[in-house]
Amino acid sequence: MLPSPTDPNPSFFSALTTDLRPRHVITVIVLLALAIALTRALNIGFKHALERHRQRGTLLPETATQLALTRRLLAFAVWLVAIAIALTQFPDLRVLSTGLLASAGLSGLVVGFAARGTLGNAIAGITISLAQPIRIGDDIEFRGDRGVVEDIHLLFTVLRLGDGKRLVIPNDTVASEVIKNLTMGGVTKVARVEVLVPPAGDPDLTRKAILAVAHDYESLDRQAAEPEVYWVRIDERGTLLRLVAACADAASADRLGQKILARAAQVVWRRAL
């Protein structure tokens, strides 16, 4: 009896590539390219949405929080579907791809005890985005530390402390513990002022000038994080700077905003002339 020409115990790689055809490879490449393109389109779209809100003066903390988390959720969904469909091109991995597609529903995401913490953080991130006990830019106290909420990701929240360090907090901890929000309820107010320095101006000089005004402001909340100026964007229109400073109340924050804009106008136009 002649031996079989095929290996009775093929390796996993051999079994995986036995029925693979060029069209399968092309399909996988096209899917990954589409995922990259859709992700970039989402990022650009949400960036333009934020820019429109800034130009209209309607960029509220809750709006920024919702847009940031929605962008990340949509990007995650795009890659989840693309990878799951790509796996269907491999017959031996179709069971795995079916599980990935099912994981788009909450019931399919729990794949073991180790995944429960990650799932809890993701659900907590969505809850924070909807209920908004804290928002981007809020001045909060957490376990004795005080700082400004710098960003809210799907799995964790970043808190900027008074010494400039960052405290990374899992979202399920944020959702389950008592946090003192000093911005909500009028206890204090975080002033957020944006200044566009044209190409002919000096952004470094402008930054130092508005920081000096903020540090010398009499109604600054001295117990909160120190005023800080961020470099938001640099393009053909110029350099966009953002001042974040905690004040004693809403009226004080408004007055600081007017002082910052007036000082920035002096520095920018004097430099331009």
Kind of pairing between the strands at 145-152 and 238-247: unpaired
**What is the per-residue pLDDT for 211?**
92
- For the segment 153-181, the average pLDDT, to the nearest whole number, is 84
Rounded CA separation 128/157 (Å): 10
Q: Of 144-148, 181-185, 241-245, 268-272, which one has max mean pLDDT?
A: 241-245
Find the angle CA(66)-CA(72)-CA(76) to the nearest 5 degrees. 140
DSSP string, 84-95: HHHHTTSGGGHH
pLDDT in tens, 209-267: 999 999 999 988 887 778 888 888 888 888 989 888 888 877 788 889 899 999 998 88
pLDDT band at 121 (very low <50, low <70, confident <90, very high): confident
Separation between Cα atoms, residue 67 and residue 58, nearest integer Å: 13
From 46-50, 154-158, 230-234, the region with the lowest mean pLDDT = 46-50
Which of 44-58, 113-127, 135-149 is predicted with the least confidence, judged by mean pLDDT?
Answer: 113-127
Q: Which residues of 146-162 are buried (b: 16+ CB within 10 A; e: fewer)?
A: bbbbbbbebbbbbbbbe
CA-CA distance, 130 to 217, in Å (whole number)?
Answer: 35
Q: What is the pTM of this model?
A: 0.40
Single-letter residue type at 110: V
- Cα separation, 257 vs 191, in Å, equals 7
Confidence of residue 208 (pLDDT cuts 50, 70, 90): very high
pLDDT at 142: 86
Whether the Cβ atoms of residue 160 and residue 150 lie closer than 8 Å to each other: yes
Percent of the chain with pLDDT over 90: 7
